[in-house]
Amino acid sequence: MSNILHVSVSCIESILDEPATLSKPNKRWHLAFAIIYCSRALHSLLNKKNMKTSKLPLSTPSFVVLDVEPHLAFSNIEHTSLTEVVKKKNLDQLREFGGVAGVVDALKTDAKNGIHGDVEDIARRQEVFGSNTYPRPPAKSFFYFVLEAFKDLTILILLACATLSLGFGIKEHGLKEGWYDGGSIFVAVFLVISVSAVSNFRQNRQFEKLSKVSNNIKVEVVRDGHRQHISIFEIVVGDVVCLKIGDQVAADGLFLDGHSLQVDESSMTGESDHVEVNCHHNPFLFSGTKVADGYGQMLVTSVGMDTTWGEMMSTISRDLNEETPLQARLNKLTSSIGKVGLAVAFLVLVVLVVRYFTGNTEDENGNQEFNGGQTKANDIVNAMVRIIAAAVTIVVVAIPEGLPLAVTLTLAYSMKRMMADQAMVRKLSACETMGSATTICTDKTGTLTLNQMKVTKYWLGKEPVEDSSSIDTHVLKLIQQGVALNTTGSIYRATSGSEIEFSGSPTEKAILSWAVLELGMDMEAIKQNYSILHVEAFNSEKKRSGVLMRKTADNKIHVHWKGAAEMILAMCSSYYDASGSIKSLDDGERMRFEQIIQGMAASSLRCIAFAHKQIPEEEQEIREGRQKLKEDSMTLIGLVGIKDPCRPGVRKAVEDCQYAGVNVRMITGDNVFTARAIATECGILRPDQDMNGEAVVEGEVFRNYTPEERMEKVDKIRVMARSSPFDKLLMVQCLKQKGHVVAVTGDGTNDAPALKEADIGLSMGIQGTEVAKESSDIIILDDNFSSVATVLKWGRCVYNNIQKFIQFQLTVNVAALVINFVAAVSAGEVPLTAVQLLWVNLIMDTLGALALATEKPTEELMKKPPVGRTEPLISNIMWRNLLAQALYQIAVLLTLQFKGESIFGVSEKVNDTLIFNTFVLCQVFNEFNARKLEKKNVFKGLHKNKLFLGIIGITIILQVVMVEFLKKFANTERLNWGQWGVCIGIAAASWPIGWVVKSIPVSEKPFLSYLKW
């Protein structure tokens, strides 16, 4: 036995001793052969030994069987070579692989049924070829946003002020107490940078999440003979992917089957011309390109980083430093206020210097500070330091640091909430622009309707058919052929008893379902009897699709057309009647059919017609050579009416928009009668509105108007029927020229120009093509018009919240600036120190921004007209509110400044604390006033905003800490209960003042209209 084993071991050694020159695949083969050979050799030796012994073994011999299948499954094709063949469009090398069919076999897939798609199969393919993902560039770190915050001019001015204040403070008071003012400005700067950086960092993370959601495209693949939708990231090499107009090609691959497939490769090559893809000359498809026309199926040959698109995308990071129009206006406003502050500070500096050197200032003992040559140089320097510190304090209070932060917080918060309300924001500026929208141009199918289509009517000749058994056999076969062969949809049934699954567009699914379930169509059998010669794919301009095919049995060629009823009717010269006879279609008969179509359309049905023609033998060769479908002298097979019910709640959403001063216009490819019926049902059109025929117009009519006529009539149009994408674009351009802010919904590839042209492009998340989504600003995830109305509400809310905060912030700034200026000029000192002003200006405003920026939309927003884009940011109503509150605060605080000590019988230090405390509490009470710009009841809905109440609570607690416990840092004295009561009483008076002021009417003409911020 030992000798046998010795021989076996030496044999194994000789087999395993592989030559170094072998390639990687050959090494795998060599290893597999060695394992199989050795296991068989050992097995046979053990069997011989067992045969010699009298006893049979109780157990089978133990040996290891290694599954080498995963490594050898795709061994007859080199994946790197295949990737290069596709990337370089190398047809010659593709032929060496055995053409597309050879690649299909090598990748262990089926051109018709796809891969098996079980877990093991997918895992093995991902292991060998990789997954359809690519590494993203690293996300920007938190410190990146900290550095960005430091670049802000406001922050740089504050840092300069802090440095000056720190230096002068230490010079005047020594290090122990002199660092308070400068140190506090540094702390405040640190706080504003932290809040800003955290906010921008979180917003960046949110964009990253949104980017992942928007990149997670659903792709239709065939696996195990079953069409199914999967994530683009789940695609593997060997998958059969279905492509139609508007789809993004999900990976690199080869064309398998299809018709009239044209691809837009501009994202890869920069060339705008569409590239035709077919079996013979160009079967290559590239990831990231878009299907421009036709349909087809492709075999995936490489995924992820093996594709050119993957390599390119892994180096691109989305730029999120987009400045919205409102942010730009606010930055301008901030810098304007900053300039005013600098001017006032300079004026104070001059006045104080003049007062000092003219002997109008006194020291703590009541002596004149400056006595000409008798005054020491050190005293003059200290006095100058104090004067500069007062000027610095005024600069600090003048700059509204909270404004840019408020916009960032508002936009970030509203984006997050809009996502929950089925709207994904792709461009931040769209949030604001939507608040100014004056008109919405919407699609019908899927947006106003449910997109759940069902055939409810069928007319054969001039008679409606109730029972399919009454249809003539020949006509029935023609209908079945027209449905089965002229479709981009498909039918799948797992087993004979299981339910049938239909895939394709909603219209295709409705027709297929009707043909299979009611007419008994067998799609597979029909396809086997005919070969398709040429296809004209459906698009939104032609509104029809046709197929040229040859019958296998007799080689005769037939043409089938399907499409919009009036378009197909115009191609016909005869029709089949109920008995199956062909009748001539004269003018009288044609008018009768038009009435039938109009009758169906008036019942909100989408009308589709089928037509057929057998090509005469003498024309057959010409048709085959030209690959052109016959378009005249067709025979009408029948008409079907498809019902697509309106979405529940759409009428209310339309009425809400109209009540808010936003006109809703419907632009559809359906005929005039269907469009009018649906528009009336949705509330876009009143039953009596279209008396003069100007409210409803056909796309062709609108297109043929002169530019002057279009501009004159565009405002009156409510419905545009039988429109092409060009008509939609023309409508948007006209409305914009008339001064409208236009929002457009779109789902098709051809809608892309209109979506880009519009002020706000809204694409559909379910039915929308990838091209439409990329051209849009906001994606409506549930395709529902009610969500469009919600986006409108959020747009107004963003603008309204920012206006509330501006009013609140400017009240603080105006009051503090005037108080310090008047006190500095008249008394030579400032009652509010730099620390106190920074506490008010930064901490309160940061918290205030958070409180007012997170107010949710209310129904009141939809009761006001749209906000004009050129309207001033600070409206007359805001000026009225903020000036009233600021004047009250100025009057009270200046009274306290000059008479407070005698009124309350307190020391100067306690009086300064009373001024500071009253000022802060005035802002707390005024924050409630800022919640409503026009409404008197500022407490409505307060209980719903827990964040607002929480922030008010935090502010009050921090103020108590500031006054009672941070005596040296904040330069305050402790107050007794009575003094606290006085402060609260004075501050609370801002509520009744706000209530009274809101009764004062304001003019329409903008106050300070020359300031266009």
**Cβ atoms of 352 and 387 closer than 8 Å:** yes
Q: How far is CA 846 from the centre of its chain?
A: 28
Summary count for the chain: helices (H), strands (E): 38, 26
Q: DSSP class of residue 374?
A: G
- Read off the amino acid at residue 779: I
Q: How far is CA 122 from the centre of its chain?
A: 31
Backbone angles phi and psi of 697, in degrees to 5: -140, 150
- Read off the amino acid at residue 664: V
The set of residues, in sequence order, having a beta carbon less than 8 Å from that of 120 and lying 6+ positions away, is none
Spatial distance between the Cα atoms of 172 and 292, rounded to a whole number of angstroms: 75
The set of residues, in sequence order, having a beta carbon less than 8 Å from that of 422 and lying 6+ positions away, is 765, 780, 781, 782, 784, 787, 790
Q: What is the DSSP annotation of 197-220? A: HHHHHHHHHHHHHHHHHHH--EEE
Spatial distance between the Cα atoms of 218 and 10, rounded to a whole number of angstroms: 57
Find, among 544, 672, 523, the residue nearest to 609 by Cα.
Answer: 544
Spatial distance between the Cα atoms of 487 and 774, rounded to a whole number of angstroms: 27
Bridge-based pairing of strands 634-643 and 778-780 is unpaired
Bridge-based pairing of strands 582-584 and 423-425 is unpaired
The set of residues, in sequence order, having a beta carbon less than 8 Å from that of 510 and lying 6+ positions away, is 453, 454, 455, 642
Q: Is the dihedral of CA 188, 192, 195, 201 positive or negative?
A: negative
Spatial distance between the Cα atoms of 897 and 113, rounded to a whole number of angstroms: 87
Find, among 152, 182, 185, the residue nearest to 165 by Cα.
Answer: 182
Place of tokens 């479908």: 629
Structure-block tokens of residue 391: 């000027």
Spatial distance between the Cα atoms of 41 and 35, rounded to a whole number of angstroms: 10
Q: Which residues are 665's β-sheet partners?
A: 441
- Which of the residues 121, 443, 747, 759 is marked catalytic? 443
Place of tokens 């409803």: 696
Q: How far is CA 662 from CA 434, 712, 719, 975, in A?
A: 11, 19, 15, 55
- Read off the amino acid at residue 553: A
Question: Half-sphere exposure (CA, 13 Å, Cβ side) for 380?
Answer: 13
Spatial distance between the Cα atoms of 798 and 321, rounded to a whole number of angstroms: 19
Backbone angles phi and psi of 254, in degrees to 5: -120, 145
Spatial distance between the Cα atoms of 837 and 297, rounded to a whole number of angstroms: 68
Find, among 560, 740, 767, 589, the residue nearest to 664 by Cα.
Answer: 740
660-661-667 Cα angle (round to 5): 105
Q: Is 443 a catalytic residue?
A: yes
- Read off the amino acid at residue 1007: F
Q: DSSP class of residue 942?
A: G
Q: How far is CA 692 from the centre of its chain?
A: 40
Spatial distance between the Cα atoms of 851 and 410, rounded to a whole number of angstroms: 10
**Cβ atoms of 482 and 671 closer than 8 Å:** no
Spatial distance between the Cα atoms of 802 and 808, rounded to a whole number of angstroms: 10
**Cβ atoms of 165 and 182 closer than 8 Å:** yes
Spatial distance between the Cα atoms of 2 and 59, rounded to a whole number of angstroms: 21
Structure-block tokens of residue 830: 């400032």
Using alpha carbons only, how large is the chain's radius of gyration in Å? 39
**Residues annotated catalytic, as ranges:** 443
